[in-house]
Structure 1
C-alpha cells in the first residue's frame, strides 16, 4: 500500500506542477503531462482506497491520516466529474493543489490500515463521513471557481486584458461552476449532518454538541444563505464568488483547526482514543 500511496502522491505533485505550467503557458505538452499524471495518480489512489476497503472492510475516514487520503480522492473524483460536464481543463490548475496538499500532509501521519472500533463501523457513520467529504470536495471546487472568477473579472474591468484573460473561462461559465458546485455540496452537507445526528443518537443515545457540530451548522447556514441569495436576490458573479471563498475558509477552519486542536466528540484526539481502545492507531 505504501507503493500505491507514494505513486499517487508523486503523480499528483507532477500533475499540480504541470497544471500550473499549462495555465501559464498553455503548452499542449504540459497539458498532456498534467492529464496523464492525474490519471495515473487517480488510478493508484483508487486502487489504494480499494485495497484498504478489502483489508479492513471500511473506507479510511475514521483517522486523521486516512481522512486526508480519502478527502484528496473525492476532490479528484469531483474534478473529473466537473471536467466531463464543462470541459474546463484549466480548473485543474486551481483544484489540484487542494488534492495534493492533503496527500502530502498524510505522508507525515500514520496511515497503517486498521479495523475501526465497532462504534465507527456503523452504516450511518459511513454515510455521514462519505457525504461530508463529498460536500467538502464540492466546496473546494466552488472556492476555485470563485478565485478564478475574481481574477477574470479583474482582467475584464482593466479594459486591457492580458494573457490571463485568454487562459481563463468566461465569467458566465465560472459563475455557473460556482452555482453547480454549491448546489451539489449543500444537499450533500445537509445529508451528512442528518446522518451524523442519526449515528450519534444510535451510538451514544444523544447528540453530543461540540465545537465541530457548531461549526458545521455555521458552515451549513453560510452555504444555504449563498444559495438562497442567488435564487432570491440574484446574487451572482462577484458576490457569489466572494461568498464561496468565505464559506470555504469557514469549512477549512472547522475541519483543520477545530478537528485537530479542540477536544470533543469530533476531534481526532477522540478518534485516536477510540482506535487505541480497539487496538489500532492507523488509517
Structure 2
C-alpha cells in the first residue's frame, strides 16, 4: 500500500468538505450537509486504511506518537460524521477536517518505533476507550470554541455572519454538555481498564499519563457537576472544557512527543 497517494487524496477530500462547510457558515453558499458528509466519509475511509496499515506495520495497538495522532484524528472525524446525523455539529468539520488531513500527511512521513506488545482483550478495551474518549472530547473542545465565539458575538450584539448560521446558543451548549458526558464516560472506562489490565499503569514511563488523565477527568467531572448544581455555562464552561482537553492532550501525546520526536534527534 502506497500511503502518500492515499493521504493526498484524503487531504483533498478533507479540504473540499471543510471549504464548503466554511463557506456555508459565512453564508456564501447554501448548506449541503450530504455533500460535506460524503466528501468527509471518503476522506475518513482513506484515513482509516492508512491508520490500519500503520498499526499493522508497528504490530501494536498502543502505537507511537505519529501513528497515535493519525489514529486519533481519524476516529474524531468518524465520530463527528456519525454525531452529525443526530446533532447539529457539522460546523466543527471546518476546523477538524483540515487538521486531520495535515496530521495524516505528517504522520506517514514521521518515523515511528516498532513496538512488540501482547494484545489482550483488556488492553484492546483500554486502547479503544482511550482513542474514543480523546476523539469525543476533541469534538467537545471544538464545539466549546464555537460556543465561545457565539457567546461573545451575542454579548456585543454582533449577530451577522457566522453566528447567524449557527444553531441557537442553548442548543449549542446542550450539545457541548452531551459530548462532555459521553467523553467522560469513555475516559472513565479508559482509566479503569488501564488500572485493571495494564500492569505498569503507575510505572515511571506511564505515571505522568495516568496522573494527567486523572486530572483531566477531574476537570470534566467538576464542570458537569457544577453545570448541574450551580448552572455553570457560557464562557466558564468554554474555559473549563478547553482546560480539560489541553490536560488530556498532554496526557496522551506529551510524553510520546518528547520521547519519540524531540529526544530521538539527540
Question: SS of 1:84's equivalent?
Answer: coil
Which position in structure 2 is the counterpart of 1:231?
Answer: 228
Q: Does 1:43 align with 2:45?
A: yes
Q: Does 1:198 align with 2:196?
A: yes
Supply the distance in 1 between the matched residues of 2:74 and 2:48 (Cα, whole angstroms).
7
Supply the distance in 2 between the matched residues of 1:197 and 1:6 (Cα, whole angstroms).
39
CA separation of 1:36 and 1:150: change in aligned 2, threshold 3 A: same
Which position in structure 2 is the counterpart of 1:260?
Answer: 257
Alignment of 1:59-98 (within 5 A): 61-98=62-99
Give 1:179 deviation, angstroms.
0.6
Which position in structure 1 is the counterpart of 2:25?
Answer: 23
Supply the distance in 2 between the matched residues of 1:260 and 1:188 (Cα, whole angstroms).
23
Which position in structure 2 is the counterpart of 1:247?
Answer: 244
Give 1:105 deviation, angstroms.
3.0
Q: TM-score, normalised by structure 1?
A: 0.79
Deviates more, 1:92-101 or 1:166-175: 92-101
Alignment of 1:115-154 (within 5 A): 116-117=115-116, 119-154=117-152
Give 1:50 deviation, angstroms.
5.3
Give 1:252 deviation, angstroms.
1.9
In the comparison of the two structures, how many residue pairs are matched?
258
Supply the distance in 2 between the matched residues of 1:178 and 1:185 (Cα, whole angstroms).
11
CA separation of 1:89 and 1:80: change in aligned 2, threshold 3 A: same
Give 1:23 deviation, angstroms.
2.2
CA separation of 1:107 and 1:28: change in aligned 2, threshold 3 A: farther
Contact 1:64 1:268 in 2 (8 A): yes
> What RMSD in Å do the two structures reach over aligned CA positions?
2.9
Contact 1:74 1:133 in 2 (8 A): yes
Q: TM-score, normalised by structure 2?
A: 0.83
Supply the distance in 2 between the matched residues of 1:199 and 1:268 (Cα, whole angstroms).
25
Contact 1:64 1:109 in 2 (8 A): no
